[in-house]
């Protein structure tokens, strides 16, 4: 409906949870259902800051932990004008990671937990190992205790199709709710 704002739908989770696959599927399904929906991802690797992050993640460069954290944050801030413009134009944004990944992955560096058993194949980027992901998961769980945010937990171990259907149905509800609420602020 004209004049309605779009919803900000953030997909968060550990690496290999299927966020990118689901984000693409979700945008396609929402568009097919007549919504205006677009996909964003963080880190957005195409910008100058994004290139620094990409090279850090690929272990090609070393960066001090605090400054990396701030670069991830800056990488979100550089998209904020676009995000706000799209949402107020009525475009629903599906975002593959946002500030919660920023908190979870930085916090995971500071957590001293017993090493978890080695997991199946991860990629070769920094942070892509079972121990680190376990810590990030704990951090995500702590972040979800903030009930002012509309968290929905989806069991990513189900089939791509089942996960998609669950996220699609949840998103339809969120789009309706968002249309009735003014745009708020979310930390970046
Ligand atoms: N990551 C992502 C962070 O450490 N901080 C952040 O703020 C964000 C947005 O980047 N292992 C980490 C989590 C991932 C890595 O993301 C690359 P992806 O979605 O695998 O491209
Ligand atoms: Mg990854």
Its pTM surpasses 0.75: yes
What pLDDT does residue 57 have? 98
* From 50, 64, 105, mutation site for ligand 1 pocket: most ligand atoms within 8 A of C-beta: 105
Average pLDDT over every residue of 114-131: 71
Q: What is the pLDDT of residue 44?
A: 98
Q: If you average pLDDT over every residue of the chain, what do you get?
A: 92
Write out the residues surrounding ion ligand 2, Cβ under 5 A.
Answer: 15
Looking at residue 24, its pLDDT comes to 98
Q: How far away, in angstroms, is 148 Cα from ligand 1 center?
A: 24
Q: Which ligand is nearest to the CA of 54?
A: 1
Run of H or E residues at 8: strand 8-11
* φ, ψ for residue 81, nearest 5 deg: -60, -40
Say what percent of the chain tops pLDDT 70: 94
CA 97 to ligand 1: nearest atom: 9
pLDDT over 60 (residue 113): no
What are the angstrom distances between the C-alpha of 40 and each of 64, 116, 155, 180, 185? Answer: 26, 32, 22, 23, 18
DSSP letters for 64-114: -HHHHHHHHHHHHHTTHHHHHHHHHTT-EEEEES-HHHHHHHHHHHH---P
At residue 2, does pLDDT exceed 70?
no
Check pocket membership of 22 for ligand 1, CB cut-off 6 A: no
- pLDDT greater than 90 at residue 116: no
Q: Which atom of ligand 1 approaches the CA of 127 most closely?
A: 11
How sure is the predictor about 120, in pLDDT bands with cuts at 50, 70 and 90? low
Ligand 1 contact, 132 CB (< 6 A):
no
- The residue contributing the CA closest to ligand 1 atom 20 is 15
Atom of ligand 1 nearest to the CA of 105: 4
Whether 1 has a pLDDT exceeding 70, the answer reads: no
pLDDT digits (tens, 9 = 90+) for 26-63: 999 999 999 999 999 999 999 999 999 999 999 999 99
DSSP string, 135-147: HHHHHHHHHTT-T
% of residues, the chain, pLDDT over 90: 81
pLDDT tops 50 at residue 117: no
Q: Is 50 in the pocket of ligand 1 (CB under 6 A)?
A: no
pLDDT given at position 186: 83
């Amino acid at each position: 409906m004209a004049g309605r704002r779009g919803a900000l739908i953030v997909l968060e989770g550990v690496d290999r949870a299927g966020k990118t696959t689901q984000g693409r599927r979700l945008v396609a399904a929402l568009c097919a259902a007549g919504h205006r929906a677009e996909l964003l991802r963080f880190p957005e690797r195409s910008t100058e800051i994004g290139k620094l992050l990409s090279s850090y993640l690929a272990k090609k460069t070393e960066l001090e932990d605090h400054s990396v954290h701030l670069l991830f944050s800056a990488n979100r801030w550089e998209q904020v004008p676009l995000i706000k413009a799209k949402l107020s134009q009525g475009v629903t944004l599906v975002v593959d990671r946002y500030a919660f990944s920023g908190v979870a992955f930085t916090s995971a560096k500071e957590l001293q937990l017993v090493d978890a058993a080695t997991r199946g194949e991860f990629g070769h980027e920094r942070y892509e190992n079972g121990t680190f992901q376990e810590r990030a998961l704990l951090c995500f769980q702590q972040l979800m205790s903030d009930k002012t945010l509309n968290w929905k937990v989806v069991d990513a171990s189900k089939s791509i199709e089942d996960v998609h259907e669950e996220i699609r149905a949840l998103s339809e509800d969120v789009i309706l709710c968002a249309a009735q609420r003014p745009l708020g602020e979310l930390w970046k």
